[in-house]
Amino acid sequence: MDRIFATLTASRPDLKPIPGTIPLTPLAAVIPPLTYYLALILLPPFPDQPNQKLISIIRSVLAFIAGSLFFRLPLKYHVPFSVGLTYQLALVGLYGGCRVLDAFFISLYLFGHIPRRVKYHQEPRSETPGVWRNRALSNSYFNLHFLQPRKVAVTETATTDEGLPESWKDRASWALELELAMRGAGFTWTSADVRHTKKTWTPTAWDRVHSILLHVLPVLSASLAIIRFIYVRDLKEEGGLSLPFDDLSFPKQMLLTAALGGFLMTAFSLGHSMFAIILAPLKPHPLSYFPPLYTTRIWDLTSVRNFWSYGWHRLFSRLFLVYGVWPGEWIERKVTGKSADEAADVGKVLGGFVSSAFVHSFAAYTVVGGTVGDALGEAEFFAGCGVAVVAEEIVKRSMLRFRRRHKHNVNEDKANCSELWYDGIVGRVWWISVLLYNGRHFARGWVKAGLVREMAGA
């Protein structure tokens, strides 16, 4: 026990937290989500309650305390034994604070919106499991879990509850479900990325176990092996320090970046599937509802926009929507004079990526000693991706107009360029190149912060 305590309290030599922060305590970790939960219990209105105003004041005070404590977490504390957990602490603190601000002030007071439960209904479909290989169903949102087709084909529809919880028991359950629904799944707080099609599959626990054992763990293990190999051979320095990322050759930079991306994708998938398996016995309770993180197979993606819309997890989608997409659209409409009914796609895309850049750069800031310059790698990565999405959309529309003018065989009912035989090849080379080349900014920051060293087990 003494050895475990010593391990948990000893600081890693390569951890560079914000100066002045102290080791995280259990009490400091528990109070913010607990206060948030208590405030959520009071969020639905109390019908015919004469003390409604007093309850609203108490709720707002609890929400203010919860939000402040969440934002304070990464500025006051660090996890002494782990660079990765200190990085995650920053994400939790920023995400939690923004979530509280959204639920109790932005959504409630600006839009009068309190999240309502969404119930999903599944009816069996007649397709056989083998149909999933058909290209027409290639966007079935469970495919990226690499499962064999041992699952039931269903058509899924959603209905929204008309009322809000009233009894204390219902409020306690509703608040717990909402707090744990990171993407807002199961509530009217979600975003469109969670549901792209009504035709889907219901995975069994065995499907998820099969995915973990035969696909997720091998890719995860291979990624970690590559990370360790490159770090030990090319980045490890005498005294336990790390050499700069730029000391690597360009091919090794790309390989390390790809390995880090593979690790992140499979690590998220592993955690998601494990929680889904553990909570599966609760079905049909909402806590057992786990819509997949990834909505399209990786080899079916043909653009940078496809990757971020369908090929990556969208755990922070609500945060980026409220604090990035909406402000970006508002700015574009103000600058261009567009009406509220007109699309503001440039502001939408750039706003989302700017907000993502800030969130991830802030997390990096907490593990590079509070140095802003060393934390900008993530910002450069997401800025590059945002510019790439806008650029590829301009090229796609230009090519579509060119082909129509020259009477190429283009289906005008589809707003995409993937009509000629080489489009898919060009698109795949393009998005992979953009992510790997820009991803080097991310990898550079992770090497500097000591994250790569920790992942390599050095």
Q: What pLDDT, on a 0 to 100 scale, did the predictor assign at position 403?
A: 79
Higher pLDDT, 356 or 242: 356
Mean pLDDT of 291-301: 79
Q: Is the dihedral of CA 256, 301, 121, 116 positive or negative?
A: positive
**84 pLDDT higher than 60:** yes
Check residue 127 and give its pLDDT.
57
Query: Mean pLDDT, the chain, as a whole number?
Result: 83
User: What is the reported pLDDT for 8?
Assistant: 54
* pLDDT score of 137: 37
Res. 10 pLDDT band, cuts 50 70 90:
low
pLDDT exceeding 70 applies to what percent of the chain?
A: 84
- At residue 240, the pLDDT reads 63
Which pLDDT belongs to residue 415?
46
In this predicted model, which residue has the larger pLDDT, 370 or 8? 370
Summarize pLDDT for 23-44 with one digit per residue, the tens. 999 999 999 999 999 999 999 9
Q: What is the pLDDT of residue 9?
A: 59
| Per-residue model confidence (pLDDT) at position 439 | 95
Residue 136 has pLDDT above 80, yes or no: no
What is the arithmetic mean of pLDDT over 370-376? Answer: 89
Average pLDDT over residues 162-189: 84
Each residue's pLDDT tens digit, 180-224: 887 667 777 765 544 445 656 667 788 888 888 888 999 999 999
pLDDT value of position 148: 36
Q: Match 């959504």 to its residue by tokens.
A: 107
Name the least confident of 2-6, 44-48, 87-91, 204-208.
Answer: 2-6
Mean of pLDDT values over 63-78:
97
Judge whether 324 and 355 are in contact, CB under 8 Å.
yes
pLDDT computed for residue 138 by the predictor: 36
Which range among 44-58, 223-237, 250-264 shows the weakest confidence by mean pLDDT?
Answer: 44-58
Query: What pLDDT does residue 132 have?
Result: 40
Q: Mean pLDDT highest for which of 84-98, 153-167, 267-281, 327-341?
A: 84-98
Q: Is residue 2 pLDDT above 80, yes or no? A: no
Note the pLDDT of residue 150: 46
- Give the relative orientation of helices 217-230 and 250-279 as an angle to the nearest 10 degrees: 150
pLDDT (tens digit per residue) in 389-425 = 999 999 988 888 887 777 655 454 444 444 788 888 9
pLDDT band at 120 (very low <50, low <70, confident <90, very high): confident
Residue 380 has a pLDDT of 94
- Examine the pLDDT at 4 and tell me if it is beyond 70: no
pLDDT of residue 147: 35
Res. 280: pLDDT tops 80: yes
